[in-house]
Amino acid sequence: MADINLKQVYKSFGKSEVLHGITCDISDGEFIVILGPSGCGKSTLLRLIAGLEVITKGEILIDSKVVNNLEPADRDIAMVFQNYALYPHMSVFNNMAYGLKIRKMPKEEIEKRVRNAAEILELTEFLNRKPKQLSGGQRQRVAMGRCIVREPKVFLFDEPLSNLDAKLRVQMRLEVRKLHEDLKVTSVYVTHDQVEAMTLGDRLVVMNDGYAEQIGSPMEIYEKPATRFVAGFIGSPAMNFLDVHSSSDGRQVELNEAGRLPLPGGGIGDRGEQAVILGIRPEHFELAGDSETAMHLTVDHLEILGADTLVYGHIGANKASVTVRLTDVHYFEKNHVLPLTVPSEKLHVFDKASGKRVEFE
């Protein structure tokens, strides 16, 4: 096992800079998930760690050794790809053993490692089959087994579950996490799926347009997103954003005709009245009585999901769209007005110009 250190990592393709000074320290045995939308640079960063792309500027260290100029084969890493990358003419056993045979490892040791990996991944009964005889999930386990037998210092995963159906993805998520807990190998996992990220990662690196917007634990990022982008990317349904004004003492926000909400503690401080962005997660709304601080939502339509009800509506004269998630089943007619409130500690405020989080005093 090994730690990984990224120090001001830049990557350019010609004149186009796609990574802008990424710095991150990954501890020995940690499971890090690089998360972000398509085109944000997450796969490029993984390929730099693997040695499949050449770094433009900065340093990448694996086990305290600078690997900028090392070939992939010399970095002691193993990579699981999105498309499995199995040899179709070889059996499962030979696919898993191929890399060890190339290294001219003794036959007995190859047999031992492949059998051990097959047992861990519940593939023993499939060792004599060809990839075409396996399901998608089984093929992905073979690809993982091919990495395990090498006993590398680092596992790299490049969106390994994106080709699987929804049910199989849930199952494979659990298997990936269990595999990590059993082997405790330093792992870097790339995905655009926030559910995978939240359930798998010890820490997340949230990427946006080549920048690492925030690095932290899943709950830290969910509860205290550093920017409006992170707040909107993490969470489903996505966080609601409302243009509001803070009061002159900074202790509450005014939603124009839609009501007002108190902020926790000393609010955002005595800065005078100013325009800010208020963020509210759909699951943090509560049905209110006649509270004078309630906001009033006009219902547009519902999605009744059984355990939850999603209410889509609008508030205020500008008809700002708002999504509310209520537990259990609720029925409201179109244009029904719902009084809602939110616990002050669940509110988020972002600077309108920079998009950065405004901390409460």
Residues 183 and 253 in one domain: no
Domain holding 187: CATH number?
A: 3.40.50.300
- For 298, the 3-state DSSP assignment is strand
Residues 300 and 327 in one domain: yes
Residues 42 and 161 in one domain: yes
Residues 18 and 144 in one domain: yes
Whether 231 is in a domain gets the answer: no
Residue 291 banded pLDDT, cuts 50, 70, 90: low
Residue 89 banded pLDDT, cuts 50, 70, 90: very high
Q: How many structural domains are present in the chain?
A: 2
Alpha helices per DSSP H over 224-307: 228-233
Q: What is the pLDDT of residue 360?
A: 86
- Give the domain-ending residue among 203, 226, 249: 226
DSSP string computed for 200-235: H-SEEEEEETTEEEEEE-HHHHHHS-SBHHHHHHSS
Phi (first) and psi of residue 166, to 5 degrees: -60, -45
Residues 58 and 166 in one domain: yes
In the predicted model, is pLDDT for residue 199 greater than 80? yes
Q: What is the pLDDT of residue 292?
A: 65
Q: Letter for the amino acid at 137? A: G
Name the more confident of 79 and 290. 79
- Give the domain-ending residue among 159, 194, 226: 226
Name the more confident of 265 and 110. 110
Q: What is the pLDDT of residue 168?
A: 83
Residues 19 and 168 in one domain: yes
Q: What is the mean pLDDT of residues 232-251?
A: 90
Residues in Cβ contact with 210 at an 8 Å cutoff, skipping those fewer than 6 apart: 17, 18, 19, 20, 40, 41
Q: What is the pLDDT of residue 280?
A: 96
Alpha helices per DSSP H over 103-165: 107-120, 136-148
Residues 197 and 127 in one domain: yes
Q: What is the pLDDT of residue 167?
A: 84
Name the more confident of 316 and 128. 128
Residue 88 structural domain: 4-226
Domain holding 310: CATH number?
A: 2.40.50.140
Closest CA to 361 of 276, 252, 272, 266: 266
Estimate to the nearest angstrom the gap between the alpha carbon of 331 and the chain centroid.
33
Whether 324 is in a domain gets the answer: yes
Distance CA(242)–CA(318), nearest Å, equals 10
